[in-house]
């Protein structure tokens, strides 16, 4: 696996892929380790997770620089990502025991009925490059603490991150085999899921990848959780605080170079405030610094790979040819590296690529709508259903509209984000299942009913 620094286009590292024999050994190790790991008390597992959080904090600059070199995330955002991983470790170190406590149920006199939560076994995680630490810890912190063991198939452009995460758990004192990174191509994933030693799979990624994992897992009756793409609406109503909406919206679209499933992508603005919002939105976006991701003043670094930037620009170009108007940006930046500028498009023709497909980069589409009902209709006019953001000074109005939005999570006067304290996941083509909070730790467990007479 060759690692190419997207800010320069230079190959900076090469890693040897694991062989099929290595995978077999890893599966054997995971199975053997699980037999002991599942018997450890939750409190023991919580203490190890707390130590993993400490390891992350102690080495956050090193891990952040690995992210930045491999996929171009600006260094300040990379440091924040490591800190967020430590936070999710803290959360489950504190709350896992509570989440996993047995639940009592009504029962006849003289009997007790409870649901116990027991781990399933080895779980395969297929994870993306865009948040190369957070996506992994979002699954690992709860699933390992519930008593499962993890196998990570990370994206092929972030192998250094994959191995660094494995080192975090090793340094924290986890037994060998509780968490293993597999540097393998995607064509080995189906065989791993089909293997009897693997009891479940979770994937964060594209729709086609999710369908492939779900199909194989379904054939073998394996549990899956899928967090797929998104085309999140950002609704600005006539009573919104325009300054706050524009400032937050600009960041919600361009954080991580716009390479986020939950980025705000379709800005749906009430006609009464459309011009004011667009002006403020353009000002905010034009203020961002695009440049060297190792420079702490940089807001937006390179796109992660050349082919991804080319695909994004093709979506923009086809949409402009169909009639969309470029307000700012719209062309790759003529400099070393894979850089694309923050871009705003208006007058979006229905069905063009930026209207109907997910755009995975710093490209915002802005729509003008006449009223609240049209805003909701446009927000729901997508195959995706991951997140949504609504902006209004009337909190009751925001909550009422939130109930009409087809999405796994809706935020009022806030950007869409994942938080250890709240369940996270999507509907429709954005996947199924939930991560984080109590819901997340209970995805890969046996909810065993125990009736004692």
Tell me which residue of 312, 316, 364 sits closest to 338, measured CA to CA.
312
The tally of domains found in the chain comes to 2
On whether both 236 and 112 belong to a single domain, the answer is no
Are 394 and 247 in a shared domain? yes
Question: pLDDT tens across 290-301, in order?
Answer: 999 999 999 999
422 domain residue, yes or no: no
Q: What is the pLDDT of residue 289?
A: 98
Within a domain: residue 423?
no
Claim to verify: residue 192 and residue 259 sit in the same structural domain: no
Residues belonging to the active site: 227, 261
CA distance 353 to 234: 18
Domain match, 363 and 435 both: no
In this predicted structure, what is the pLDDT of residue 328?
A: 98
pLDDT value, residue 445: 98
Clarify whether residues 224 and 236 are in a common domain. no
Q: How high is the pLDDT of residue 358?
A: 98
Collect the ranges in the chain with pLDDT lower than 50. none
Same domain, 99 and 181: yes
- 129 and 261 in a single domain? The answer is no
Residues 309 and 195 in one domain: no
Considering the domain architecture, whether residues 257 and 156 belong to the same structural domain is answered as no
Q: Indicate which CATH number applies to the domain containing 268.
A: 3.40.309.10
My answer on whether 308 and 445 are in the same domain is no
Number of neighbours of residue 214 by Cβ within 10 angstroms: 19
**pLDDT single digits (tens) 330-345:** 999 999 999 999 999 9
Tell me which residue range forms the domain holding 93. 2-228+428-452
């Amino acid at each position: 696996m060759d690692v190419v620094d997207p800010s320069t286009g230079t190959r900076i590292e090469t890693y040897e892929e694991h062989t099929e024999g290595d995978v077999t050994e890893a599966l054997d190790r995971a199975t053997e380790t699980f037999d002991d790991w599942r018997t450890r008390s939750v409190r023991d597992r919580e203490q190890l997770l707390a130590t993993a959080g400490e390891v992350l904090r102690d080495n956050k600059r090193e891990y952040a620089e690995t992210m930045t070199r491999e996929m171009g995330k600006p260094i300040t955002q990379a440091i924040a990502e490591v800190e967020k991983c430590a936070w999710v470790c803290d959360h489950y170190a504190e709350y896992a025991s509570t989440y996993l406590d047995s639940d009592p149920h009504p029962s006849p006199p003289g009997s007790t009925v409870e649901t116990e939560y027991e781990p399933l076994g080895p779980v395969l995680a297929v994870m993306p490059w865009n948040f190369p630490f957070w996506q992994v810890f979002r699954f690992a912190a709860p699933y390992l603490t519930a008593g499962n063991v993890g196998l990570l198939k990370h994206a092929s452009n972030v192998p250094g991150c994959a191995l660094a995460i494995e080192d975090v758990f090793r340094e924290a004192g986890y037994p060998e085999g509780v968490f293993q990174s597999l540097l393998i191509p995607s064509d080995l994933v189906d065989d791993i899921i089909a293997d009897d030693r693997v009891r479940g799979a979770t994937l964060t990624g594209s729709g086609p990848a999710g369908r492939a994992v779900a199909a194989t897992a379904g054939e073998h009756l394996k549990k899956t959780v899928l967090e797929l793409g998104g085309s999140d609406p950002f609704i600005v109503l006539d009573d919104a605080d325009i300054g706050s909406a524009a400032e937050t919206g600009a960041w919600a679209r361009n954080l991580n170079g716009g390479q986020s499933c939950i980025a705000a992508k379709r800005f749906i603005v009430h006609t009464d405030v459309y011009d004011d919002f667009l002006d403020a939105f353009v000002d905010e976006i034009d203020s961002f610094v695009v440049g060297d991701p190792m420079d702490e003043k940089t807001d937006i670094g390179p796109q992660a790979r050349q082919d991804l930037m080319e695909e994004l620009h093709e979506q923009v170009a086809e949409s402009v040819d169909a009639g969309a108007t470029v307000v700012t940006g719209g062309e790759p930046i003529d400099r070393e590296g894979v850089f694309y500028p923050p871009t705003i498009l208006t007058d979006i023709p229905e069905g063009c690529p930026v209207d109907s497909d997910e755009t995975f980069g710093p490209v915002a589409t802005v729509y003008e709508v006449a009223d609240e009902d049209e805003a909701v209709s446009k927000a729901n006019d997508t195959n995706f259903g991951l997140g949504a953001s609504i902006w209004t000074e009337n909190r009751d109005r925001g909550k009422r509209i939130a109930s009409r939005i087809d999405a796994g999570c809706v935020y009022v006067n806030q950007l869409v984000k994942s938080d250890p304290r709240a369940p996270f996941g999507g509907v429709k083509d954005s996947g199924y299942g939930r991560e984080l909070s109590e819901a997340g730790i209970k995805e890969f467990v046996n909810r065993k009913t125990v009736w004692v007479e």
